[in-house]
């Protein structure tokens, strides 16, 4: 599987180079993909995991917040087990890293009924990318997902709140991204869901009991995510 993944990566980069050199744009390779530094072993592992999960009906893409479900196996199985779920979250991923992972083709054999995607907070946290640029990256991810998994429903989640209050600069940047996402989801025929109220009080304040570092979820945070997702997920999976 390691050899196969490396071959797919090399092939995808060669295809992209050919498209760029001729001035043409591939419908599946819209940006120069790049692997998340330090995450090669996880990317290889996820390719292997996906190869063994061809029956997955529910697939999650995201960053460390999604990967963190692996610390809550009992809750994961209780909430999602009936859907044969597959967690493809990678710590540190930004929008371009998800595009890279899709471009490898390592997941193309999957035939999920629903793909849930939440990405973008690291574009803010690592570089304070402009909201328009983050939203564009998410739009391109949905383009790739639609092309590679045409049978799947897509569910785009708003970037979860971070920082203690609504005035936190990181949260404000993500809020500006989120404002652009309903229209992007609609353009792709994707479901849109903002779960912020599941994690904050009525003033939008985050508690460290929900997100200990005001970014990553505690066990209580994952329980809240599961509860908030339960009804819409059951509807989408019908």
- φ/ψ of 157, rounded to 5, equals -95, 140
Closest CA to 93 of 16, 35, 50: 35
Residues 6+ apart with CB under 8 A from 73: none
User: Which is catalytic among the residues 21, 37, 202, 213?
Assistant: 213
Would you call 168 a catalytic residue per the annotation?
no
Under DSSP, is residue 154 helix (H, G, I), strand (E, B) or coil? strand
Q: How far apart are CA 183 and CA 178, in angstroms?
A: 10
Would you call 64 a catalytic residue per the annotation?
yes
Hunting for tokens 């697939």 — which residue is that? Answer: 59
Angle at 36 between CA 192 and CA 137, to 5 degrees: 35
Q: How far apart are CA 86 and CA 60, in angstroms?
A: 6
In contact, 53 and 84? CB cutoff 8 Å: yes
Under DSSP, is residue 157 helix (H, G, I), strand (E, B) or coil? strand
User: Which is catalytic among the residues 64, 91, 146, 223?
Assistant: 64
Q: Which long-range contacts (CB under 8 A, 24 or more apart) does 176-180 make?
A: 176/131, 177/120, 177/124, 177/131, 177/134, 177/135, 177/138, 179/131, 180/131, 180/132, 180/135
- φ/ψ of 167, rounded to 5, equals -90, -5
User: Which is catalytic among the residues 168, 194, 216, 223?
Assistant: 216
Would you call 108 a catalytic residue per the annotation?
no
**Longest distance between any two alpha carbons in the chain, whole Å:** 54
Instruction: Name the residues annotated as catalytic.
Output: 64, 213, 216
């Amino acid at each position: 599987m390691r050899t196969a993944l490396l071959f797919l990566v090399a092939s995808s980069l060669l295809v992209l180079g050919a498209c760029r050199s001729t001035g043409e744009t591939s419908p599946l390779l819209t940006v120069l993909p790049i692997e998340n530094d330090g995450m090669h072993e996880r990317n290889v592992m996820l390719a292997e995991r996906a190869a063994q999960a061809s029956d997955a009906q529910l697939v999650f893409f995201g960053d460390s917040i999604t990967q963190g479900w692996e610390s809550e196996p009992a809750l994961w199985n209780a909430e999602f087990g009936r859907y044969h779920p597959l967690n493809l979250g990678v710590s540190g991923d930004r929008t371009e890293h998800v595009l890279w992972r899709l471009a490898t083709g390592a997941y193309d054999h999957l035939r999920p009924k629903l793909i849930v995607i939440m990405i973008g907070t690291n574009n803010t946290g690592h570089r304070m990318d402009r909201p328009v640029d983050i939203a564009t990256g998410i739009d391109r991810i949905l383009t790739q997902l639609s092309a590679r998994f045409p049978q799947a429903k897509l569910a785009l989640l708003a970037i979860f709140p971070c920082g203690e209050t609504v005035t936190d600069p990181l949260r404000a940047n993500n809020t500006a991204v989120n404002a652009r996402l309903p229209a992007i989801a609609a353009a792709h025929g994707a479901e849109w869901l903002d779960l912020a109220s599941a994690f904050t009080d009525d003033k939008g304040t985050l508690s460290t009991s929900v997100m200990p570092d005001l970014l990553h979820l505690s066990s209580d945070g994952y329980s809240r995510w599961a509860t908030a997702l339960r009804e819409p997920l059951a509807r989408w999976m019908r």
